[in-house]
A and B are shown apart, each in its own frame.
Chain A
Amino acid sequence: MSLYAYAITRDRPIELDGPWLIRHRGLALVVADVDLDRFTGLEFDDPAEDSPLAVLAREHDTVVRAVFRHEPVLPLRFGTVLESADAALRLLAARHEEALVRLDQLAGRQEWGVRLRAAAPEPPQLDGLSGTAYLMARRRNLTAADDARRDATAVHEELTRRAAESTRRDPAGDVLLEAAYLVDVPLEDDFHASVHRLTSGLSVEITGPWPPYSFTRMELADA
């Protein structure tokens, strides 16, 4: 029987509905028996709201969150399957020190996502507009877009100062800022107040709290 692995956490007693812990020197891997058939053909699945992929991804997230309620976690990438409990132990041993240190750093912190969008520009009124007036209107729009991008970077720098760690993705489309912040729980009110102050009048979406998905850039190898 293969084991689906959800996350690495500290070896502490946790009640989970289904999954269990494989323990090794202070670390634990959260695992569950997996029916591999459920994962077959997922890459061709259209990820709609009720698709098998969506269901599995939400299950994964639910387990990671259940652990995260009690202990810091290093979430594993979706679809990680181990061939045996022995493999799980080898995995925990391989980067034991690094995992423990990272768990300590993540303790007491949660991830928040912040997305800033550009306001839709005024559609140009072309009728009766002189060429000069048209070009000036065009220039105003372009300058506004530049300003918006600069403002988004300023917001990110300001929020980074209020977070333990931050990470930013390349923005695409009308998204000016797509960032995640790892925030100390006692400082969350402060952080949110800053978000609201810095983004007032802008189109902003805040998601979270998340387990530290965006802050576990780690590769574990069977070294």
Chain B
Amino acid sequence: MENRHTSLADTLERVLDKGVVIVGDIAVSVVDIELLTLRVRLFVASAQTAREMGMDWWTDDPFFTPKAVDRTAEMKALTQQNAELGDRLAALERALGERS
């Protein structure tokens, strides 16, 4: 019954979200359990995010996400603009070098 090896996410999920709930005026809850539970859910979700990272290939898949096409186009435009600026800078530097 050691709990050292259980992940924090699993412990929080059970301790904060499960168990007997006491209602009525004899008991006061010292923390806003609902808010806390919500935050813990977010934490548990983020603890799983690493695993899910491999699952988001479809966000860049034009079949599911038409916007992905725009993003590719945008990327291309930016890359092209970057190359053009690089060329212009090189030309300017060359001109400056010739002058001095």
Count of chain A residues with a beta carbon within 8 Å of a chain B beta carbon: 61
Please tell me if A120 contacts chain B, counting CB pairs below 8 Å.
yes
Chain A, residue nearest B42 (CB): A47
A64 to B1, CA, bound (A): 10
Q: A47-B39, A123-B57, A207-B10 are in contact. Are A87 and B26 (CB under 8 A)?
A: yes
A216 with B33: CB separation less than 8 A: no
Q: Could you say which residues of chain A place their CB within 8 Å of the CB of B54?
A: 120
- In the complex, which residues 63-77 of chain B have their Cβ closer than 8 Å to any Cβ of chain A? 63
A178 to B20, CA, bound (A): 21
Q: Which segment, of A11-19, A20-28, A154-162, A168-176, faces chain B?
A: A168-176
C-beta contact mask, B30-57 vs A, less than 8 Å → 1, else 0?
A: 1111011001100101001001101101
A39 to B61, CA, bound (A): 46
Q: A39-B31, A78-B33, A173-B52 are in contact. Are A61 and B3 (CB under 8 A)?
A: yes
Q: Could you say which residues of chain B place their CB within 8 Å of the CB of A64?
A: 15
How far in angstroms is the closest Cβ of chain B from A196? 19
A69 to B43, CA, bound (A): 29
Q: A58-B3, A77-B20 are in contact. Are A42 and B15 (CB under 8 A)?
A: no
B39 with A220: CB separation less than 8 A: no
A210 to B1, CA, bound (A): 8
A223 to B27, CA, bound (A): 12
Chain B, residue nearest A59 (CB): B15
How far in angstroms is the closest Cβ of chain B from A31? 12
C-beta contact mask, A43-64 vs B, less than 8 Å → 1, else 0?
A: 1001101000110011011101
Q: Which 5 pairs across A and B sit closest by C-beta, in order of nearness? A: A222-B24, A213-B14, A213-B18, A75-B19, A87-B26
Interface residues of A (CB under 8 A from B): 5, 7-8, 34, 36, 39, 42-43, 46-47, 49, 53-54, 57-58, 60-62, 64-65, 68-69, 74-83, 87, 90-91, 94, 113, 117-118, 120-121, 123-124, 134, 138, 172-175, 207, 209-210, 213-214, 216, 218-223
